[in-house]
Chain A
Amino acid sequence: MPILEVQSLSKSYRQAGGETTVAIGNITCQVEAGEFVSFVGPSGCGKTTLLMSIAGLLAPSSGRVIVNGKEVSGPPANLVLLFQEYNKSLFAWRSVLGNVRFGLAARGARSTGAAAAEDKARTLIELVGLKGFESHYPWELSGGMQQRVAIARALAYEPEVLLMDEPFGSLDALTRLELEDTLLRLWAELKTTILFITHDIEEAIYLSDRIWVLSRRPSQIVQELKSDFSRPRHQVTTRADGRFMELRNDIYRQIGNQGAP
């Protein structure tokens, strides 16, 4: 049984003028436990709407989302969404440690005792490479470090499924590569299922097992592709593989063929 199923999901908005905009056409897909899957699509294709619907933060207009065999009607307990805007989603009034401990408390880890929770939070902070910054506030950190805090906070919640909405989209290129590797390392270690959204084709190939190419609005899955490069992957050798470029060009044509918006 897949851990996550999306069945004929569509979402439309009634706009101020009374017109209806269809953001998501009709999306059906399945994610197996432990997989790393990405949606890749042009900007403005309703990626965020799609992820918000899967996360139970937006009600779909039709279709349904099933997590672990249960239909989603609100935010599911075993799933967490990581936002692109780390500067808006981190708690400015909590330190790095406080933010990560929020994730633990939300899971209900309080019963394990304060000392155990603190240890666990510190371990996670170390895992995302922020040892020594536990008592810093988010605004004292760079963008990349803030997103690391957000990742640690999300992982503290121990979700079975982690949804990520263009998490590295506003970071510089080098930081982005670093965080991709951090994420892959954590994913391998914690065996979380990850559903990732990006407009960066190479990022999708580098990270994922499978990739769904999305069309422009109303978004639909145009093609499913496998990215079966051996793991652990490497920023130089994996990307230097001839098939990597072939896959990249394939996807690029898929997206490019749709013409300018």
Chain B
Amino acid sequence: MNQAKPFNWLGWSSFALLLVAWELGARATPKLELYFPPVSRILSALGQALAAGSITQHALVTLARFAEGFLLAALLAVLSGVVLGYFRFLNSLLATLIELLRPMPSVAIIPVAILLLGIGDGMIVSVTVYATLWPILINTIDGVRNIDPTLIDTGRTFGLNRWRILCQIILPGASPYIVTGLRIGLSIALILVTTAEMIAGSTGLGFFILDEERAMNSANMYAGIVVVALLGYMLNRLFLMIESRAMKWRHGMMARQAA
């Protein structure tokens, strides 16, 4: 886990091959151009959109909404997850509500959010927070509950008060679970931002993709999809980079147990 993974030549070659097949297939069937424009046309549309700056603007708006929604959800979910994991009574009180709301596809909340908040940034960020909350919350609760009582007793015998036990033992002890929740939440947040932008946005990549589709500019539509895909890829890589530093102790431990 300490050394970087070797570059996956096979995986990248097969991906490149797929692009070549798309390009050749699209050129051979000009009638399908509206549905499958050649890769080269998508890339040149992307180049033009980037040069004009319009797509960059949309991407930045999406990124800002994503960041706001994800960070807010992380903060809320970790805090309430620790409280619910720690106090059994509160957990019993809310367990049924959580169990019923969690499996509901979060996009179903979008009409409610539009009704209450209208269309705009507030609505988009709110539905993102709502959807992203669940995996982080559930994992944090599990993490706190799975802490060995011996660890808590260790804190107590060393004279730590509740607050220091929380900060120095419960949070780091539950961190592997919390990180798992955050990683799932990351993908969900991007899905929700894009979807909400499609339904009720006038800016953002989701809006851009749907708008270009309606205008029959399929090359631009695909360019938008490429940008949102790259955004997701880069956010995930960034997360893994931070995680592998912060959770170095954990990776070594898992590798040892697996060996």
Report whether B158 and A139 are in contact in the complex, using a CB–CB cutoff of 8 Å.
no
Is the Cβ of A93 less than 8 Å from the Cβ of B158?
A: no
1/0 per residue, CB under 8 A from B, across A76-98: the answer is 01011101010011011110000
A106 adjacent to B249 (CB under 8 Å):
no
Contacts of A91 in B (CB 8 A): 151, 169, 172
Smallest distance from the beta carbon of B171 to chain A beta carbons, Å?
A: 10
- Asked if residues A102 and B249 are in contact (CB atoms below 8 Å), the reply is no
Interface string of B144-160 (1 = CB under 8 A from A): 00001011011011111
Which of B50-58, B106-114, B250-258 contacts the other chain?
A: B250-258
Closest to A95 in B: B249
**Residues of B contacting A52 in the complex (Cβ-Cβ under 8 angstroms):** 153
CB B66 to nearest CB in A, in angstroms, measures 29
Bound together, the chains give a CA A106 to CA B256 distance in angstroms of 30
A83 B153 Cβ-Cβ under 8 A: yes
Q: Which of A49-74 contact B (CB under 8 A)?
A: 52, 55-57, 74
Report whether B160 and A106 are in contact in the complex, using a CB–CB cutoff of 8 Å: yes
Which single residue of chain A is at the shortest CB-CB distance from B168? A102
| Interface check B218, CB cutoff 8 A | no
Q: How many A residues touch the partner, as a band? A: 20 to 34
CA distance A80 to B169 in the complex (A): 17
Pick the contact of A75: B150, B159, B249, B252 (CB < 8 A): B159
**With an 8 A cutoff between CB atoms, is B175 at the interface?**
yes
A228 within 8 A of B: no
User: CB distance A92 to B156 under 8 Å?
Assistant: no
Looking at the assembled complex, report how far the CB atom of B167 sits from the nearest CB atom of chain A, in whole angstroms. 12
Asked whether any CB of chain B lies closer than 8 Å to the CB of A168, the reply is no
Q: Give A42 to B4 CA distance when docked, in angstroms.
A: 52
B169 touches A88 (CB 8 A): no
B252 touching A137, Cβ below 8 Å: yes
The residues of A that contact B157 with a CB separation of less than 8 Å are 55-57, 75, 79-81
A134: shortest Cβ distance to chain B, in Å? 15
Query: How many contacts A-B (CB < 8 Å)?
Result: 58
Q: In the bound complex, do residue B150 and residue A77 qualify as a contact, i.e. CB atoms below 8 Å apart? A: no
List residues of chain B with CB within 8 A of the CB of A46: none
Across the interface, which residues of B come within 8 angstroms of A75, CB to CB?
Answer: 156-157, 159
Are A57 and B156 touching (Cβ within 8 A)? Answer: yes
Q: How far is the CA of A94 from the CA of B155 in the complex (A)?
A: 14
Chain B, interface size category, equals 20 to 34
Q: Which residues of B contact A137 (CB under 8 A)?
A: 249, 252-253
B153 touches A102 (CB 8 A): no
Cα of A74 to Cα of B256 in the assembled complex, Å: 38
Taking the closest CB of chain B, its distance from the CB of A132, in whole angstroms, is 18
Q: Which residue of A lies closest to B248 (CB)?
A: A137
Whether B249 and A89, one on each chain, are in contact in the complex, defined by CB atoms closer than 8 angstroms, is: no
Contact among B153, B156, B256 with A140 in the assembled complex (CB-CB below 8 Å):
B256
Are B154 and A89 neighbours in the complex by a CB distance under 8 Å?
Answer: yes
Q: Which residue from B150, B175, B256 sits with its C-beta under 8 Å from A93?
A: B175
**Nearest A-chain residue to B253, judged by Cβ:** A139
B158 touches A80 (CB 8 A): yes
Q: Which of B157, B160, B249 has the most chain A CB within a 10 Å cutoff? A: B157
B151 contacts which chain A residues (CB < 8 A)?
88-89, 91
Closest Cβ of chain A to B131, distance in Å, is 30
Complex: A56 Cα to B257 Cα, angstroms: 34
B 163-185 binary contact with A (CB < 8 Å = 1; else 0): 00000110011010000000000
Closest B residue, CB atoms, query A137: B249
B158 interface neighbour in A74, A94, A106, Cβ under 8 Å: A106
| A88 interface neighbour in B148, B168, B253, Cβ under 8 Å | B148
Cα of A75 to Cα of B156 in the assembled complex, Å:
6
Contact B172 A93 (CB under 8 A): yes
A206: interface (CB < 8 Å): no
Q: Does A212 contact B (CB under 8 A)?
A: no
The smallest C-beta distance from B161 to any residue of chain A, in angstroms, reads: 10
Using CB atoms, name the residue of chain B closest to A83: B150
Interface residues of A (CB under 8 A from B): 52, 55-57, 74-75, 77, 79-81, 83, 85, 88-89, 91-94, 102-103, 106-107, 137, 139-140, 157
Extra inter-chain contacts (10) besides given A83-B153, A93-B172, CB under 8 Å: A75-B157, A75-B159, A77-B159, A79-B157, A81-B153, A88-B150, A92-B249, A107-B159, A137-B253, A139-B256
